[in-house]
Amino acid sequence: MSCSPRRTATRLRQLRDRTPEQINALLSLMEMQTRQNFVSMLSKSGSLVVVSAAEQDMEGNELLADRLRKALEAASDTETDS
């Protein structure tokens, strides 16, 4: 994703006269949003499987087991098609 020069200039004006703490907080939020955008894009395309913190408790977690089963089925379907 790219930003137009106009959007970049707007963002730079928003940072003017801010304290270093405010700038660091904003940059941190922007980094988190960027990471979330990448994860969303990759998971939609099937290039990445996203596991939430709640799903990491693998023992007895039916939601995780279902997602893993579907991912394995999709992977085996892809291998069969090749």
Give pLDDT tens digits for 44-72. Answer: 877 777 776 666 665 666 776 777 778 87
How much is the pLDDT for 53? 61
Q: Is the pTM of this model over 0.75?
A: no
What pLDDT was estimated at residue 81?
A: 60
DSSP three-state, residue 23: helix
pLDDT number for residue 39 = 81
Q: Residue-wise over 60-75: b if at least 16 C-beta within 10 A, else e?
A: eeeebeeeeeeeeeee
In this predicted structure, the answer to whether residue 33 has a pLDDT above a threshold of 70 is: yes
* The pLDDT of residue 18 is above 80: yes
